[in-house]
Amino acid sequence: MSPEAAASARFDGRVAFITGAGRGQGRSHALRLAELGADLALVDLGSAGSVSSPHYATATRDDLESVAGEIRSRGRRAVVVEADVRSAEQMAAAAATTVDELGRIDFVVANAGITDGFAPTWELSVENWKTMVDINLTGVFHTVRATIPHLLDEPEGRAVVLIGSGVAIKAVPNLSHYVAAKYGVRGLAAALAAELGPYGIRCNSIHPAGIDTEMTTAMVELNGIPRDVLLERFRSGQLIQTNVEPSDITAAVVWLLSEEARFVTGVELTVDAGESKK
Ligand SMILES: NC(=O)c1ccc[n+]([C@@H]2O[C@H](COP(=O)([O-])OP(=O)(O)OC[C@H]3O[C@@H](n4cnc5c(N)ncnc54)[C@H](O)[C@@H]3O)[C@@H](O)[C@H]2O)c1
């Protein structure tokens, strides 16, 4: 087999379950895993719900179908699931649909999340705090709670990646509900690594720098800050002052899911151009 063929067969026969797969980083992870041979369960909110506090535009059914179309055009299978990570029942149904249609779940990437406008903690709305924790932390719990029992069926070579944030390594002011939820994700990943280790299943968290996705659009709209100012703020907070791209996070996801990382578990991997070291 040529090196190219071997690379594209790296995840052959494997199934990855990704939340927030309709756009942004989740979309990038899904497309790359499909290029490397995986079949995909693409989970996103679509018409299963909406986010109102803060008012937030989430991915649509069309966004999900477009990712699914690109995966099928690469010769891989894709299942589209509209589900709200805030609902334990909907996430359980999403996992069951994946196993019914794709036969198994090998990899979980808990990636769905929102941001909010900047405000000091004592001025945050209680509703916005609750929504943030419900999606960015409890949503990750619902995701792993629904999927891990399916991983335990046949644990060899299976792995979980939780998407945190650079601000879960080095906190920033005026976004404390996001920071607190992401510190929670970091803790959940560490606890899961300890629980899953005896089964041979790995769990790691990734902590990206600021990245230009629809989440940046939300920050622009919620804060009234021009995009170029926000992106410059991201860059100037880094040791390497260049934009980090979704594909940079995807490379870390692929490595952590692969056999090359077979003894890597419980790691908090920053892909942040040195933001947390500055
Ligand atoms: N963009 C950044 O600057 C940045 C930096 C560090 C970490 N992150 C994290 O990376 C992850 C991906 O973010 P992104 O940059 O691709 O943003 P994005 O907004 O493009 O993607 C987030 C996805 O999550 C989905 N989602 C939101 N609420 C949901 C819900 N209740 N149920 C199901 N799906 C829901 C959205 O529809 C969207 O498709 C998030 O966890 C985010 O917190 C982003």
Q: pLDDT tens-digit profile of 53-71? A: 999 999 999 999 999 999 9
Confidence of residue 214 (pLDDT cuts 50, 70, 90): very high
Is residue 18 scored above 80 in pLDDT? yes
Q: Using CA atoms of 34, 4, 269, 82 in order, give the dihedral in degrees to the nearest 10.
A: 0
CA distance 46 to 43: 9
- 215 CA to centre of ligand 1 in angstroms: 6
Q: CB–CB of 222/119 below 8 Å?
A: no
CATH number, position 212: 3.40.50.720
Distances in Å between the Cα of 241 and the Cα atoms of 40, 58, 169, 196, 208 are 34, 29, 19, 37, 14
Give the nearest ligand 1 atom to 218 CA: 19
Average of per-residue pLDDT across 261-277: 97
Residues 6+ apart with CB under 8 A from 242: 235, 273
Is residue 3 scored above 80 in pLDDT? no
Tell me whether residue 199 is one of the annotated catalytic residues. no
- 23 CA to centre of ligand 1 in angstroms: 8
Ligand 1 in contact with 84 (CB < 6 A)? yes
Give the nearest ligand 1 atom to 210 CA: 3
Ligand 1 in contact with 138 (CB < 6 A)? no
- CA 58, 237, 247, 150 dihedral sign is negative
Ligand 1 in contact with 58 (CB < 6 A)? yes
Q: What is the mean pLDDT of the chain?
A: 97
Average of per-residue pLDDT across 131-154: 98
Number of structural domains the chain divides into: 1
Residue 26's domain comprises: 3-277
Confidence of residue 270 (pLDDT cuts 50, 70, 90): very high
Is residue 264 scored above 80 in pLDDT? yes
Ligand 1 in contact with 237 (CB < 6 A)? no
Confidence of residue 27 (pLDDT cuts 50, 70, 90): very high
Give the nearest ligand 1 atom to 59 CA: 37
